[in-house]
């Protein structure tokens, strides 16, 4: 899908020449709505003032205008969610992973973060009656742990209703080689949201490159700045694109941590206030995992137990 010049000419602040330039440089109205006036002005070689007017008009056109609390309540109660395939976990999330927000899963190695992300790449494609939103997935793999074979195993589960070969085509995977690359991949997703009907963006994990590239106290300020920019970008994609943004986060030791066993999610405050929901995963001796919501603007702190089975995330262990 590309933007048509005629469609752009419906905007009052757009001349034919500007419309032609936009059609060449932008793939969707959403990507214009997500731009900063500064970027749009330099891309189209127009004044900052005109760029601001165009962005305002586009934002209005795609429904991004200020609203009242009662309208927001309506939106919030109707907010679509994506099932995790565990009714226990969906239960503490009021239905599943919400679109339009950032959800973070943190926990130690093997706690199930990547397994959950893989599962969501499949469930996002289900139709509404089955807990999905009929969308596709974009998976940014920064730890080199994405496994297509594991995904195929989950897609072949007898209780997963879609054709495995078809669903794998709707999962876009990009490896992030460093922090800068990770941020630029996120930026590229913007223009694909409409074209590819992306409804979930996964970053597994948000932290690893930032933590390995910025070592020592003197790099801390720069690191926090970059993380904040990255987080802002993710937030924009979630809100404006109505995408579920799911990120995983590593944990690190902190003797003062209140959460669990003296560990807490990495990246500190610069990142910590961004996710709407933060969920901490704990291992047990079995396939069971305990998920605890610990920071959410509207969900209470509660826990749920789910299992990592050969078929994916489920309420019960399968096969024994
Ligand atoms: N094919 C499978 N069948 C059943 N369980 C599996 C399968 N593959 C992985 N698991 C389970 O999932 C666990 C790994 O979980 P996952 O990869 O999600 O951890 P993680 O939280 O992402 O860890 P890390 O921080 O190392 O990335 C394994 O320890 C195993 O218990
Ligand atoms: Mg992992």
Q: Is 262 left (phi over 0), alpha (psi -120 to 50) or beta?
A: left
- Domain 5-61 sits in CATH at 1.10.150.20
Ion ligand 2: residues, CB within 5 A, are 113-114, 145
191 CA to centre of ligand 2 in angstroms: 27
143 CA to centre of ligand 2 in angstroms: 7
**How would you class 156 by CB atoms within 10 Å of its CB: exposed for 0-12, middle for 13-18, buried for 19 or more?**
exposed
Q: How far is CA 63 from the centre of its chain?
A: 20
Could you give the CA distance from residue 133 to residue 146 in angstroms, rounded to a whole number?
A: 23
Report the candidate in 200, 80, 188, 42 with the shortest Cα–Cα distance to residue 135.
200
Q: Is 225 left (phi over 0), alpha (psi -120 to 50) or beta?
A: alpha
Q: pLDDT tens track of the chain, all 320 residues?
A: 578 899 999 999 999 999 999 999 888 888 898 889 999 999 999 999 999 999 999 988 887 777 788 887 887 788 899 999 999 999 999 999 999 999 999 999 999 999 999 999 999 999 999 999 999 999 999 999 999 999 999 999 999 999 999 999 999 999 999 999 999 999 999 889 988 999 999 999 998 898 888 888 888 888 888 888 999 999 989 988 899 999 999 888 776 666 666 788 888 777 888 888 999 999 999 999 999 998 887 888 999 999 999 999 999 998 65
Q: Which residues pair with 204 in a beta bridge?
A: 141
148 CA to centre of ligand 1 in angstroms: 14
110 CA to centre of ligand 1 in angstroms: 5
Nearest listed ligand to the Cα of residue 284 = 1
Q: Is 136 left (phi over 0), alpha (psi -120 to 50) or beta?
A: beta
Q: Angle 37-44/48-61 helices, nearest 10 degrees? A: 110
Give me the DSSP letters along 200-224.
EEEEETSSHHHHHHS-SGGGHHHHH
179 CA to centre of ligand 2 in angstroms: 17
Q: How crowded is residue 224: how many other Cβ atoms within 10 Å of its Cβ?
A: 17
pLDDT in tens, 71-108: 878 877 888 999 999 999 999 999 999 999 999 999 99
Report which protein residue has its CA nearest ligand 1's atom 18: 112
The answer to whether the peptide bond before residue 315 is cis (omega within 30 degrees of 0) is no
Question: Which atom number of ligand 1 is nearest to the Cα of residue 111?
Answer: 21
Question: Which atom number of ligand 1 is nearest to the Cα of residue 250?
Answer: 25
Q: What is the pLDDT of residue 35?
A: 87
Choosing from 105, 114, 122 the residue with most ligand 1 atoms within 8 A of its CB, the one to mutate for a pocket test is 114
69 CA to centre of ligand 1 in angstroms: 41
Degrees (nearest 5) of the Cα angle 223, 229, 232?
Answer: 140
**How would you class 99 by CB atoms within 10 Å of its CB: exposed for 0-12, middle for 13-18, buried for 19 or more?**
buried
Residue 108's SS3 state is coil
Taking each continuous run of H as one helix and of E as one strand, the counts in the chain are 14, 13
Report which protein residue has its CA nearest ligand 1's atom 11: 308
Enter the tokens of residue 173. Answer: 């995977």
Q: How far is CA 6 from the centre of its chain?
A: 32
Choosing from 246, 308, 311 the residue with most ligand 1 atoms within 8 A of its CB, the one to mutate for a pocket test is 308
Q: How much is the pTM?
A: 0.85
Q: Which residues line ligand 1 (CB under 6 A)?
A: 107, 109-115, 143, 145, 150, 153, 308-310
Domain regions of the chain by residue span? 5-61, 75-314
Is 75-314 assigned to CATH 3.30.2310.20?
no
Question: Which atom number of ligand 1 is nearest to the Cα of residue 107?
Answer: 21
Q: What is the pLDDT of residue 211?
A: 85
99 CA to centre of ligand 1 in angstroms: 25
């Amino acid at each position: 899908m590309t933007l048509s010049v005629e469609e752009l000419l419906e905007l009052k602040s757009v001349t034919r020449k500007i419309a032609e330039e936009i059609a060449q440089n932008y793939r969707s109205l959403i990507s214009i709505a997500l731009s900063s006036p500064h970027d749009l002005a330099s891309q189209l070689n127009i004044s900052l003032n005109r760029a601001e007017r165009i962005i305002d008009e586009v934002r209005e056109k795609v429904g991004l205008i200020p609203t009242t609390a009662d309208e927001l309540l309506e939106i919030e109660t109707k907010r679509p969610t994506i099932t995790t395939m565990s009714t226990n976990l969906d239960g503490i999330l009021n239905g599943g992973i919400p679109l339009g927000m950032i959800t973070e899963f943190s926990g130690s190695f093997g706690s199930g973060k990547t397994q959950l992300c893989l599962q969501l790449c499949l469930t996002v494609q289900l139709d509404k009656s089955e807990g999905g939103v009929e969308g596709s997935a974009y998976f940014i793999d920064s730890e080199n742990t994405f496994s297509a074979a594991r995904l195929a195993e989950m897609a072949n589960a007898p209780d997963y209703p879609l054709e495995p070969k078809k669903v794998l085509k709707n999962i876009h995977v990009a490896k992030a080689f460093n922090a800068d690359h990770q941020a630029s991949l996120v930026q590229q997703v913007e223009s694909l949201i409409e074209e590819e009907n992306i409804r979930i963006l996964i970053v597994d994990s948000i932290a690893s490159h930032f933590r390995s590239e910025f070592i020592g106290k003197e790099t801390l300020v720069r690191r926090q700045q970059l993380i904040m920019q990255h987080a802002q970008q993710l937030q924009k994609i979630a809100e404006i694109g109505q995408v579920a943004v799911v990120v995983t986060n590593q944990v690190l030791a902190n003797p003062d941590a209140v959460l669990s066993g003296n560990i807490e999610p990495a990246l500190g405050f610069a990142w910590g206030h961004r996710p709407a929901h933060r969920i901490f995963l704990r291992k047990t001796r079995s396939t069971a995992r305990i998920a605890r919501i610990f920071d959410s603007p509207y969900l209470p702190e509660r826990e749920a137990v789910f299992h990592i089975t050969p078929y994916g995330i489920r309420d019960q262990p399968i096969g024994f």
